[in-house]
A and B are shown apart, each in its own frame.
Chain A
Amino acid sequence: MNGLIHKTNGVHKNGKSHKTMYTEETDWRKDYWESFEETPLLAAVFTYICYGLVVLIGHIRDFLNDLGLLKVNACLEPRIPGFVPLFSTWESFYTRHVFRRVSDVLSIPVCGVPAARVEIMKRVTHNYGWSYELHKDERSTMLNFGSYNYLGFSQNKGPCYDAAKSVTHKYGITPCASRQEMGLLDIHAELDSLVAEFLGVEAAFTVPMGFATNSMNMPCLVSKGCLILSDELNHASLVLGSRLTGATIKTFKHNNMQSLEKRLKDAVINGQPRTHRPWKKILIVVEGVYSMEGSIICLPEIIRLKKKYKAYVYLDEAHSVGAMGPHGRGVVDYFGLDPKDIDVMMGTFTKSFGAAGGYIGGTKKLINHLKLTSHCSVYSPTMPPPVVQQVLSSMKIILGKDGTNDGQRRIKQLAWNCRYFRRNLHERGYIIYGNKDSPVVPLLLFMPTKLAAFSRECRKRDLATVVVGFPATPITKTRARFCLSAAHTKEDIDEALKIIEEVGDLIRLRYSRLPVPDFNENDIELIR
């Protein structure tokens, strides 16, 4: 047959012996461990009672406001008789009485670059969260576990910084034109080819905004008459992009391959809703690492299903490119798969490269099509040159092209940090979600009051974390999210663990009832 090499002991691909080919599929499962412990019933009951109490107090405050005894600091609908109401006061109830009270732990202003340590300015509110006063002279430097800085490139010193500075002098701040006009500079072409080489695909295409990479390019790939199967916890950019395509969207349960297979089977057997014609295309949209859950997608299984049912895969590696895999090339590298199996590889430069923007990688035909039809090629200017240079420098460091082993050191440090941090938190009895190798660690807090308490107590002890609550997460699953970084040393992580333990004992967070898992960080060798 054309293109296949015939050996006497069977037909197999170039470079793979028959031994690896057949055991490949079951190998990855041995190393894949994740935990999503169920909410303990007592915590759930107390969470609802918590919310109930807050809502009750909100109602009492509104009632007292109507009577004139208490001033609620919000814009309430004046209710002029004879006129239709302009807006509904009831609709801002949640914002007034629940969100505002904890708003001092959200959107905290930072000064300076968010590296392993970040400087936070003190903020004081005199009216319960309605307005804040910044105390400019009171700044404190704290350990930063809240920034997406997986490989530690968020620095304002070093080779990336120097290169970006000189490029700004050479090219200016922005090309002021789109890709199809005059905006394509030689560094953009260099970036496109470097990204393609990094991912192992034929060609790549870059966009200045990560969100827009998804929302503006998905309509070029699928349209009405196609089916999009997207994971239920996909990011808002993927949801918006899917909606803009006009295709039919069906969701499957998060990371659940049986649910996906059922949807695929139904789609192939039944076809389009009324006419039962076959779907023009079936696109499976998944992310590499889900930042809210810390889970890693079962990519080998998705590729197996894709080949079985002849669908296409769109992989959003926003949080996994640079952060996962022995060479930092993302979740494809982590599982040791062939990048050519994924039809559309998308990712962003925001998290691991210390820059901004996104890319799409794939076959040359796909990228040529996107360059012609994408919204970003026509209506948006190309990436600013300093940002491009930042990506170029950081990618070259990761690839090892700058001659040092700094890239490998960072990758190994991040992998070691993930395992060490997660193992320690599991041993201490906290409920952690996610895969043992994912750099995002959600620690469950459950109650909205614990959300505020955890953040405030941690900041008092000089640890900056991000806490997430309803509606970004389900109502009982409010969490604190730690983002590990290669810039964190073992001492930093030990300090953070000590602080978390202090705060955890103070507000009682050890809910876990499962046995302690047995993975550890010893099988990762650090480079000094």
Chain B
Amino acid sequence: MQVGTASGCENPTSYYFNQRGIWLTYVLVIFLAHLFILSMPFFTTAIAWTLTNVLHDIAMFVILHVTRGTPYMLDDAGTARKETQWEQLDQGKQFTPTKKFLTIVPIVLFFLASFYTKYDKVHFVINASFCALSVIAKIPWFHGKRFFEINKW
């Protein structure tokens, strides 16, 4: 990547999620966002948890699976331009620690949300569908697949 006169070699997207302290930061940000939602007086605990889960899943889906390319110029002749952020992580290798961590977080949030909503049916449907969206997008078979020509070029 090249900015001004400084340049580094590979795509920073592939390794920045492996660095020291970033997993902690991610969990901390989710926690702080949840506290913020919980502090709103008109949300019950159940709604607050479902909101956290759903907003987290939507945000991570847009960040990881819809955003393509990189916010910086690279020297790789455009190979990263068509790939989503998830596909660029660890340069496309599957089952790395980062990818496992990022798959587990929505599942854990789903468990917590189910617990705090006392397994109510409506909340369950909403939470489960968003969790499924999040987890299915991360399955290795979907690497590089595009559906209905969305995000294809």
Contacts and interface: CB of A to CB of B under 8 A. Distances in A.
Given A45-B25, A91-B81, A236-B7, 16 more contacts: A39-B20, A44-B20, A44-B25, A48-B25, A52-B29, A91-B72, A93-B71, A94-B71, A94-B72, A95-B73, A106-B4, A107-B5, A469-B6, A471-B3, A472-B7, A475-B19
A88 B20 contact: no
A474 B21 CA distance: 13
Interface string B14-52: 001001111011001100000000000000000000000
A1 interface: no
Contacts of B6: 468-469, 471-472
B69 interface: yes
Contact of A90 (B24, B28, B69): B69
A41 B24 contact: yes
A471 B20 contact: no
Interface of A: 38-39, 41, 44-45, 47-49, 52, 55, 88, 90-95, 99, 103, 106-107, 236, 239, 468-472, 474-476
Contacts of A99: 3-4
- Counting chain B CB atoms within 10 Å of each CB, the highest count among A91, A107, A468 belongs to A91
A45 B25 CA distance: 5
Shortest 6 CB-CB contacts between residues of A and residues of B: A44-B21, A93-B71, A471-B8, A472-B6, A94-B72, A48-B25
B29 A49 contact: yes
Given A88-B69, A90-B71, A236-B7, A471 B1 contact: yes
Contacts of A49: 25, 29
A135 B133 CA distance: 57
B29 A95 contact: no
A93 B4 CA distance: 13
Contacts of A88: 69, 81
A286 B67 CA distance: 39
Contacts of A476: 19-21
B70 interface: yes
B71 A39 contact: no
B9 interface: yes
B9 A239 contact: yes
Contact of A45 (B16, B24, B67): B24
Interface of B: 1-9, 12, 16, 19-22, 24-25, 28-29, 67, 69-73, 81
Contacts of B25: 44-45, 48-49, 52
Given A91-B72, A94-B72, A48 B22 contact: yes
Contacts of B3: 94-95, 99, 470-471
Contacts of A470: 3, 8, 12
Contacts of A106: 4-5
A265 B4 CA distance: 40
12 contacts: A44-B19, A91-B81, A92-B73, A93-B71, A93-B72, A239-B9, A470-B8, A471-B3, A471-B6, A474-B19, A475-B19, A476-B19
Contacts of B70: 90-91
A52 B24 CA distance: 14
Contact of A91 (B22, B29, B71): B71
Contacts of B72: 91, 93-95, 471
Contacts of B12: 470-471, 475
A73 B77 CA distance: 26
Nearest to A90: B69
A467 to B, nearest CB: 11
Contacts of B22: 44, 48
A241 B19 CA distance: 29
Nearest to A93: B71
A468 B8 CA distance: 12
B71 A48 contact: no
A474 B8 CA distance: 9
A45 B4 contact: no
A47 B3 CA distance: 19
A99 B5 CA distance: 11
Contacts of B29: 49, 52
A91 B21 contact: no
B14 to A, nearest CB: 12
A44 to B, nearest CB: 3
Which of A45, A52, A55 has most chain B Cβ within 10 Å?
A45
B28 A45 contact: yes
A48 B69 contact: no
B21 A472 contact: no
A484 to B, nearest CB: 22
B73 to A, nearest CB: 5
A471 B21 CA distance: 18
A94 B7 CA distance: 13
B138 to A, nearest CB: 21
B8 A91 contact: no
A24 B89 CA distance: 47
A43 to B, nearest CB: 8
Contacts of B73: 91-92, 95
Contacts of A48: 21-22, 25
Contact of A472 (B8, B19, B24): B8
Contacts of A94: 3, 71-72
A474 B3 CA distance: 14
A180 to B, nearest CB: 33
A88 B82 CA distance: 11
A429 B81 CA distance: 44
Nearest to A88: B69
Contact of B21 (A41, A93, A103): A41
Contacts of A468: 6
A103 B1 CA distance: 17
A471 B8 CA distance: 5
A387 B6 CA distance: 27
